[in-house]
Amino acid sequence: MQIAIDGPAGAGKSSVAKEVARRLGLKCLDTGAMYRALTFKALNEGLDLSDNFLLGELTRHCQLEIKFDKNMNTLILLDGEDITEKIRSPEVNKHVSLIARSPDLRKELVYLQRKIAEKSNGIVMEGRDIGTNVLINADHKFFLDAGLEERTHRRWLEMQEKGLEVDPDSLLKEITARDRIDSERKEAPLKIAPEARVIDTTCYNLEEVVEKVIGFIKHTESRG
């Protein structure tokens, strides 16, 4: 079974995908973490984040490994180093959408994402172009969304829990900019797949959203 979950920053994709995967006994791939890994490397090497050729070369020549822990969550290893936690920094958050605009970089990562799905005995994959580009034949597609202020608040809480001080107003501007960049980029922009079920998570907690997703899946499977 392949399940695609898309949506903007702060909509709850990662948390929902992990829990849905856990309950269904599937692997969970956070594709955004892969873009974060390349952002982390590009920033460390001082690359021009608008240079498509350099970003493509960076992706082709680095060693990006995707592994899964005992709970089937995504672990990111870059050139032999586990950077799963390092890629969640405010600096990476600020620049990841710029990196994701690169057609060459996206081509390389989408290829890798599809190979991971092919080798997995079932997977929940979340990102911004999964249902529309990466897994266009996924068995189930969902698009999670929430109000801008709610998404900003959730991301602020996430940063607080990690001991990172972030100004809420600056965070709101950052997420607004990410929404615009993700939606307007030429290569696989953020959009809703025609067959995707849209869930506004603004007024629901994690458990309620997970129940909705699994409920839709079970209902569809029982009809099939």
Query: What are 161-213's pLDDT values in tens digits?
Result: 888 888 999 999 999 999 999 999 999 999 999 999 999 999 999 999 999 99
Domain that holds residue 36: 2-223
How many domains are there within the chain? 1
Instruction: Transcribe 181-218 into DSSP letters.
Output: HHHH-SSS-S---TTPEEEE-TT--HHHHHHHHHHHHH
Identify the three-state secondary structure at position 76: strand
Q: Angle at CA 25, nearest 5°, toward 197 and 115?
A: 75
Position 224 scores a pLDDT of 66
**Sign of the dihedral defined by the CA atoms of residues 112, 116, 117, 119, in that order:** positive
pLDDT above 80 for 119: yes
Over residues 122-174, the pLDDT tens digits come to 999 999 999 999 999 999 999 999 999 999 999 999 889 888 888 999 999 99
The pTM of this model reads: 0.92
Query: If we measure between CA atoms, which residue out of 4, 2, 7, 1 comes closest to residue 199?
Result: 7
CATH number of the domain encompassing residue 170? 3.40.50.300
- Rounded distance between C-alpha atoms, residue 135 and residue 129, angstroms: 8
For 10, 26, 83, 144, 171, the CA distances from 156, given in Å and listed in that order, are 9, 29, 21, 19, 7
Identify the three-state secondary structure at position 113: helix
Position 73 scores a pLDDT of 72
Instruction: For residue 144, give the H/E element and its range.
Output: strand 140-145
For 7, 123, 142, the CA distances from 82, given in Å and listed in that order, are 26, 22, 30
**What are φ and ψ of residue 215, in 5° steps?**
-60, -45
Position 159 scores a pLDDT of 87
pLDDT above 80 for 71: no
Instruction: For residue 72, give the H/E element and its range.
Output: none
Contact (CB, 8 A) for 107 and 114? no
